[in-house]
């Protein structure tokens, strides 16, 4: 069932969602908040889903933004989300495979890539959802970390940035693939569900052919002990950066 929801409190923006198969998550909000943008960038969002990250970023920059979504059903939601907000002049969405982008775009095209990718490796023991849409969004069925950084190396400008949100348990995999494709980790921020819990999510930004030097940003704690959101999270929900 399709519904139109408020995009939190971001400039009265709306987002079209399907309650049975796809809704954006806190991960997308945090990634959009994490990246640094200006008004002279070429931006592309891999695995854009129903376009939450392009929508969030449209409140931070006037730059053109491209979203890429392989699943037609979710791509259609993204198109509707862009249309309902009258952002067709700023945001374009492609129904395309990220792995093919290096054949579509020239080398050194983009200043910034954002990506909220599938989190889980496919193993013999993997509990993969029978729903194809959910399975592809959660497991590395059609796209994995190596694919992401291989394409990023091609289409990013020199010193261009790629920022992703992922599970903390995959951090070594992320850094390994970054280094393999000459993307130097530059900023990292750990997300904790509660103050005394272990980190479950990580935000990391790398620079193509960047110099060595990593900044660890202040940790983000999502919830108070009673389960309510921390003030910092509420500020982000209200469009704060």
Give the model confidence (pLDDT) of 112-163 as tens digits.
Answer: 999 999 864 544 444 554 445 444 445 444 789 999 999 999 999 999 999 9
Region label for 190, one of left (φ > 0), alpha (ψ between -120 and 50) or beta (otherwise): beta
Using an 8 Å Cβ cutoff, are 201 and 168 in contact? yes
Give the model's pLDDT for residue 239: 76
> Among 38-47, 106-115, 124-133, 159-168, which is the least confidently predicted range?
124-133
Above pLDDT 70, what percent of the chain?
88
Domains, the chain, in order of start with CATH, read 2-237 (3.40.50.150)
Pull the structure tokens for residue 82: 């862009």
Query: How confident is residue 240, by pLDDT bands cut at 50, 70 and 90?
Result: low
Give the model's pLDDT for residue 241: 46
Q: What angle do CA 40, 41, 42 make, to 5 degrees?
A: 135
Using an 8 Å Cβ cutoff, are 27 and 191 in contact? no
Using an 8 Å Cβ cutoff, are 167 and 203 in contact? no
Give the model's pLDDT for residue 238: 86
Interatomic CA distance for residues 10 and 150, integer angstroms: 33
Mean pLDDT for all residues in the chain = 89
Pull the structure tokens for residue 105: 């775009």
Give the model's pLDDT for residue 146: 95
Give the model's pLDDT for residue 134: 45
Q: How far apart are the first and last CA of the chain?
A: 32
Chain segment 47-87, per-residue pLDDT in tens: 999 999 999 999 999 999 999 999 999 999 999 999 999 99
Using an 8 Å Cβ cutoff, are 33 and 55 in contact? no
- Roughly what angle, to the nearest 10 degrees, separates helices 145-155 and 171-180? 40
Q: What is the mean pLDDT of residues 204-224?
A: 97
For residue 30, give Cα distances in angstroms to 2, 14, 57, 121, 153: 24, 18, 11, 22, 24
Region label for 195, one of left (φ > 0), alpha (ψ between -120 and 50) or beta (otherwise): alpha
User: Residue 212 pLDDT more than 90?
Assistant: yes
């Amino acid at each position: 069932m399709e519904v139109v929801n408020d995009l939190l409190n971001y400039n009265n923006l709306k987002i079209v969602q399907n309650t049975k198969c796809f809704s954006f998550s806190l991960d997308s909000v945090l990634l959009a908040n994490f990246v640094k943008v200006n008004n002279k960038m070429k931006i592309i969002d891999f695995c854009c889903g129903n376009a939450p990250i392009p929508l969030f970023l449209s409140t931070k920059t006037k730059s053109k933004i491209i979203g890429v979504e392989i699943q037609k059903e979710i791509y259609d939601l993204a198109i509707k989300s862009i249309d309902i907000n009258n952002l067709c002049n700023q945001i374009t969405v492609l129904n395309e495979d990220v792995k093919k982008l290096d054949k579509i775009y020239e080398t050194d095209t983009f200043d910034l890539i954002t990506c909220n990718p599938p989190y889980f490796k496919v193993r013999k023991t993997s509990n993969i959802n029978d729903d194809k849409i959910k399975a592809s969004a959660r497991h590395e069925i059609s796209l994995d970390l190596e694919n992401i950084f291989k394409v990023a190396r091609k289409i990013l400008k020199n010193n261009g940035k790629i920022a992703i949100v992922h599970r903390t348990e995959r951090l070594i995999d992320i850094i390994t693939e970054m280094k393999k494709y000459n993307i130097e980790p530059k900023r990292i921020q750990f997300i904790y569900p509660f103050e005394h819990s272990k980190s479950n999510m990580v935000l990391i930004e790398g620079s193509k052919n960047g110099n060595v030097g990593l900044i660890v940003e202040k940790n983000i704690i999502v919830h108070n002990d009673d389960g309510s959101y921390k003030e910092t999270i509420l500020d982000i929900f209200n469009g704060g950066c």
